[in-house]
Structure 1
Amino acid sequence: MLNGFRTAKRIALIACAMLVASCSSPKEEAAQPRSEFDIGWSIYAGWMPWPYAQQAGIVDKWAKKYDLKINFVQVNDYVESVNQYTAGKLDGVTVANMDALTIPAAGGKDTSAIIVGDYSNGNDGILLKGTDQLSAIKGRDVYLVELSVSHYLLARGLESVNMPLSDVNTINTSDADIAGTFSSPDISAVVAWNPQLSTMAEQPDANLVFSSADIPGEILDLLVVDTATLEANPNLGKALAGIWYETMGIIMEDSEQGQEARAAMAKLAGTTPELFEQQLSTTYLYGKPADAVAATTSPDLITTMTRVRDFSFAQGLFGQGARSADAVGMSFPGGKTLGDEQNITLRFDDTYMQMAADGAL
C-alpha cells in the first residue's frame, strides 16, 4: 500500500482503548436522517477513484440525484483517517479489511462495508537477498511494519512453506524508513507495500519470493460507513455505489477518456501516470458490480476473514478484554455470521453493489 499506510503499535493501543470505552459507555442514540455526509480517504491506488470522481463532478451528480451533499475529505495519514471515522468525525472511510476489523469494529463501532473495491494483487510482498526461495527466510531478521498487513502477509507466506512465525525474528520498521533500511548490505529480508516494494525490488540481488498475488482476495480495500447512519440514510449507500461504478466505467476503459482519468488520479496521488499505472497493475479492481457482489457473497470471504481475525487476535489487536478470536462478530450476505452474534460490529453488506448490478440505483 502507499506511504503512511499503517502504524502498528498505534493500531493496537487504539483498538484496545476503544474496546474498553465501548464496553463501559451507553449505547449510542439512533442516527437521524440528514442530507450532508463526510467520507474520508487517503492516498492509495485503489482509492483514487473517489477523489477523481469528486473532481470530475460525478460525486455531485449522484449526490444531487438523492438530494444529498457528500464531501470526500482527504486525510494525509491513513491510520488517522480510520481513527477519525472511529471517533465519529467521518461518516465513512476507505480502509483495508484487516484494519476495519481491528480499529472500528474491535472498538465497538458498528461498521458496514458497502463497497468491496479491490484487492492487493502484488502491491504487498516479501523480498529476500541472495535467494529466490522463500524457505531460505528461516532464521533471518525480517524488517516490516509489525502488526500490519505486512505482518499478516509474512504469516501467510511462512504458512505456505510450513513454517511458523517463530522461525523468523521480526523487527518493527516504519514504512518511511524501510526502503533505506533494505539498502544496507546487512539487511536481507523485508516485507513491504508499494511504492516502497517496487523501489526495493530494483536493488541488486533482491528477489520477490511471495506477494499478495499468491493470496488473491485476502488483502481487501473497502469503503465502509457507520451502520446506524446508513440505516437512517439508505440513499447515501445508493449514491456512493452510483459514484463508484460510474467512475469504474471510465477509468477502466482503454480509451483516451480512460487514460485521461488515470492521469488525473496519478496527479491527485502525487505521482506520475507511468508509476500510477504500475500500481494499478498490481491492484485488482472490481470494476463491475456483479463481480464485487460475487466476491462478497463467496464463501472465500468468510475463509479470508477467519484467517484475518485469527491473526489479529493472536497479535493482541482485539484488546485486552478479548478472550477469543470470536470476540468481534462479523456478518455476511445471506445471514451468515462469524464470531459473537451478540457483538456484530463489522458487516459485509452487498445491498448497494447488488442494486448497481441490477441497474436499480
Structure 2
Amino acid sequence: MKLLKKLSVVLAMLVPLSSYAEQTEFKLAWSHYTGWEPWAYANQYGIVDKWADKYGIDIEVVLVNDYIESINLYSAGEFDAVTATNMDALTIPAVGGIDTTALIIGDYSNGNDGIVARDAESISDLKGREVRLVELSVSHYMLARALDMNGLSERDLTVVNQSEADIAAVFLTDDKGAVVTWNPPLQQVRNAAGAELLFDSSAIAGEIIDITFVRTDSDERFKKALVGAWYETMAIMSGRGKTASDAISFMADQSGATVAEFKAQLKTTAMFYDAQSAVEFTRSPKLAETMDMVRQFSFDKGLYGTSADSPDFVGIEFDGDRVLGSKDNIKLRFTSEYMSAAAEGAL
C-alpha cells in the first residue's frame, strides 16, 4: 500500500510536468498607458527574458497600439496575457467565457483619467453637449460616476464613441470639444488652449485598476515569470541613481512623452511599486465593493449580453473564497497568491 501511495504521488507530480511540456512559448499583449510602460522596459532590457529563462520558457511581449483590440486578441486566444483595467477584463474576456485571473495589480488611476472640455467650468456644463470617449470602457464608467455625483445622468448629454488613437487629435480641432480619456492623451488635451479639467479619477480613487491578466489555466511557470519580471522592474523604477532615471527616460520616450510629462503622469498613477502593497489592496474588502459597482454598471449598459438576466450571471472571485455573482460561472478571479510570493521572495 505504501508503494502504491508513493507511486500515485509520483504520477500526480508528473502529470502537470507533462502538460507544461506541451507549451513553452507564451505571449503578453500590452498597450500604451503610464502604468504599463514598464513592460516595454522589462522587455527591452532583458528582464522578461531573464525570468523566462529561469523557468525554461519563452515570453514574447507585444505592443498593440489599440487598447480594446489587445483585449479582443487576448479573448480570441492570440495572447496568453494582457494588460487591461478591471472593468474591461470583466466585460470582454470574462463575460465572453474566458476564465481570467488578475495576476499583477499594477496601479490604480489617481488622476490619470479625466474629463476635459472647452467652454465649460463644471460637469453640469456638459448638459446638452456631445462627449467623446471610448464607449463602454472605464472612461464611460468614470463619466457615469461623475454625472451621478453631480446630479446628472447620461440622458442629459450625448455620448459619442471615439477611438483612443484619435481622441486627442479630434479634441484639438474642436472648439466646443468635450472628451473623457486617459494618459497620455489626457495630458495632450489638458494642455490645449481653452481646455478645462472638469473631473478626474482621483475623485473615485481605487476604482479604475490597471492590471496584468492571464488565462486562469495558464502555465504556472509563465505566471511566476511575469510576476518576477514585473517586480524587478518596479524595484528599478522606484530606485535612485542613473539606472532608475534611465528607466524613466526610456518609458517616457516609448510613451511619446517628455521625461517631465511622464513623471507628471506617474504622480497621478498610484503605482504599487512593492508587491506587499498590491497584496494588501487585493485583500481589502473595498476591492469587492468596487467590482460590485463595476459589474452593475456593466450589466446596465448591456455588456453582459442578452442571455444574462442579472449582474450575477458572471462570478467574480476574491481572496478568502468570496464570490460576487454565480459560483457556478466564475470567470474573473482576483488573487494575491503570486504577488504574495514575490513579496516573500519565493518566486
TM-score (norm 1): 0.85
Unaligned runs of 5+ in 1: 1-29
Aligned to 1:140: 129
Counterpart amino acid of 1:168?
Answer: L
Question: Aligned to 1:33, which of 20, 32, 44?
Answer: 20
Counterpart amino acid of 1:306?
Answer: D
Secondary structure of the 2:240 match is coil
Aligned to 2:233: 247
Shift of residue 243, structure 1, vs aligned partner: 0.8
Alignment of 1:34-53 (within 5 A): 34=21, 35-53=24-42
Q: 1:357 to 1:154 in 2, by over 3 A?
A: same
Aligned to 1:19: none
Shift of residue 48, structure 1, vs aligned partner: 1.4
Counterpart amino acid of 1:141?
Answer: E
**Identical counterparts, % of pairs:** 50
CA RMSD of aligned residues (A): 2.0
Q: 1:94 to 1:162 in 2, by over 3 A?
A: same
Alignment of 1:1-361 (within 5 A): 32-34=19-21, 35-183=24-172, 187-229=176-218, 233-361=219-347
Shift of residue 64, structure 1, vs aligned partner: 2.1
Counterpart amino acid of 2:160?
Answer: I
Unaligned runs of 5+ in 2: 1-15
Q: Which runs of 4+ in 1 moved over 4 A?
A: 183-186
State whether residues 117 and 176 of structure 2, in contact with CA within 8 Å, keep that contact through their aligned partners in structure 1: no
- Find the structure with the greater CA-based Rg: 2
| Whole-angstrom distance in 1 between the partners of 2:230 and 2:105 | 10
State whether residues 279 and 340 of structure 2, in contact with CA within 8 Å, keep that contact through their aligned partners in structure 1: yes
Shift of residue 125, structure 1, vs aligned partner: 0.8
| Whole-angstrom distance in 1 between the partners of 2:123 and 2:65 | 34
Q: 1:314 to 1:244 in 2, by over 3 A?
A: same
| Whole-angstrom distance in 2 between the partners of 1:255 and 1:299 | 37
Shift of residue 249, structure 1, vs aligned partner: 0.4
CA-to-aligned-CA distance 1:86-117 (integer Å, 9 cap, x gap): 12221111111111111110100101111000
How many residues get paired? 329
State whether residues 126 and 210 of structure 1, in contact with CA within 8 Å, keep that contact through their aligned partners in structure 2: yes
| Whole-angstrom distance in 1 between the partners of 2:165 and 2:52 | 37
State whether residues 119 and 176 of structure 2, in contact with CA within 8 Å, keep that contact through their aligned partners in structure 1: no
- Higher alpha-carbon deviation: 244-253 or 160-169: 160-169
| Whole-angstrom distance in 2 between the partners of 1:279 and 1:167 | 31
CA-to-aligned-CA distance 1:225-248 (integer Å, 9 cap, x gap): 11112xxx3232222211111110
Shift of residue 312, structure 1, vs aligned partner: 1.1
Q: 1:343 to 1:164 in 2, by over 3 A?
A: same
Counterpart amino acid of 1:136?
Answer: D
Secondary structure of the 2:179 match is strand
Secondary structure of the 2:304 match is coil
Aligned to 2:11: none
- Higher alpha-carbon deviation: 127-136 or 334-343: 127-136
